[in-house]
Amino acid sequence: MTIPNPDLIYPRTGDPQIVYLKNVVDDPGIDVGEFTIYNDFVHDPRDFPRGNVLYHYPINHDRLVIGKFCSIACGAKFLFNSANHTLRSLSTYTFPLFYEAWGQTPDPARAWDNKGDIIIGNDVWIGYEAAILAGVTIGDGAVIGTRALVTRDVPPYTIVGGVPARPIRKRFSEADIEALLALKWWDWPPEKLRPALEAIQSGDLPALLSMA
């Protein structure tokens, strides 16, 4: 039985546009699960931490957490809290960043509103040039449409699209979604998952449940 190697950078022979994202991330503020892929046909996909995770400054201690078996399309962006010029002030100008020039006490983080981490579940598909904002949680099995702007949480197995992103439909019935969330097939070891691929790919949930 063929079992994939999760430690590879390039999972497809001769294809330098797709990487196992976990193996190219060198930022301690980014946590990626096994077998999650990123495709980039414009830039080197190994540059994901610098080219796609934006305004992610160590001073803020915010995190990007991405689950297992996610598919992230070219140009998807994750915009963190330092992009959020504060609305608590009477001005959106970033005076706290220039504390030296204005003779203020150093406190650069006052320049933005902190909305929290970005959390991406397992088996999530993020479409071409979609943008995910700080503080958003995307549930397992969700689909984010092309160039969607995700400003709020997305429930599991929900397809969203648009600017701002809105729910389009659920992928499955509520009963099937509950069963999939309880099953957590993405946590199965590869040797157990390999024989289950036909059931997964053919949409045969009863067969998959029988293998649990």
Give exposure, 45-63, as e/b (b: 16+ Cβ within 10 Å): bbebbeebbebbeeebebb
For tokens 């080219």, the residue is 51
Whether 85 is catalytic: yes
- From 43, 56, 61, 85, active-site residue: 85
Distances (CA, A) of 29 to 57, 84, 151, 202: 9, 18, 21, 36
| Contact (CB, 8 A) for 196 and 182 | no
| Contact (CB, 8 A) for 200 and 185 | yes
CA distance 147 to 170: 19
Cα torsion 136, 56, 105, 110 to 10°: value is -20
Residues classed as catalytic: 85
